[in-house]
Amino acid sequence: MIDNTAVIAASAIIEEGAVIGANVQIGHFCFVGSQVIIGAGTVLKSHIVINGITELGQDNHIGQFSSIGEVNQDLKYNGEPTRVIIGNRNVIEQNVTIHRGTIQGSSLTAMGDDNYLMSHVHIGHDCIIGSHCSLASNVGLAGHVELDDFVLIYAASAIHQFCIIGAYAQINLSTCVVQDVPPYVIAQGNRAKPVGVRSQGMSADGNEHHAIERAYQLIYHSGKPVADVKDEIDVMAREWQRLRVYNAFFSRSARGIIR
């Protein structure tokens, strides 16, 4: 079903069964598969492939030569009906690839709202990206990577499969991450090491920053086991709301954290 307010270039191919919402714009030489849903106000520039069981929310902007929902690069994949779901108001620039999930994972590759993916970003199968994340050019996420909200990744960085990047973490230029990165931590190098606490672009007041710094010191300089550190941060989080993201992070972290 194609809404009568959608604007579709004559050279675009829209397979029967696709759902195209109000005021969608689809540029020249785009391909939209039969199981795709595109929400109102979304813009596809040109030469874009949206395929598979893929749902785009409202007011997304997709740049030229991007591919969303195509077959993933997991050699175990055998054509199972896995999905991609993308939320609202995301900006996905040129030459970005986002692959469908696998049944060995969650069968889903997902992204929340208000994210910014610069050119040549790759999002592997079963990745789960939160909201308000920014990924610079040539960032690569291997399969099953999770990014919590407000993550910032600088250009040419690579994230190993199954890694978790906690909320507000920052991955500096050309960094290779092979273990989990706790919330608010700045990671840098090959292999990634913690180099400080992120403060740029955050609205926390001075006392909250002090609490975040205290959590960082507990994790990296107290010499205590992670289980004990987690318990101490849980107590601190009763007073400081911004520390509550640590509980969600540590409850999922399985690869160990960067050191």
**Counts of helices then strands in the chain (DSSP H, E):** 3, 28
126 is catalytic: yes
Q: What's the CA angle centered on 9, arms 125 and 46, to 5 degrees? A: 40
Amino acid at 229: V
**Which is the catalytic residue, given 87, 120, 122, 126?**
126
Q: Which of 125, 140, 166, 180 is catalytic?
A: 125
Report the alpha-carbon distance of residue 36 to residue 84 in Å, rounded.
Answer: 10
**One of 21, 143, 149, 166 is an active-site residue; which one?**
143
* 228 among known catalytic residues: no
Q: Which H helix or E strand runs over 206?
A: helix 206-221
Query: Rounded distance, CA 101 to CA 104, Å?
Result: 9
Task: Tell me if residue 28 falls in helix, strand or coil.
Answer: coil
Q: Are 86 and 96 in contact (CB under 8 A)?
A: no
CA–CA–CA angle 71, 73, 78 (5° rounding): 60
122 is catalytic: no
Pairing of strands 152-153, 164-165: unpaired
Reference 246, options 205, 188, 185, 201; nearest CA is 185
Q: Which residues are catalytic?
A: 125-126, 143
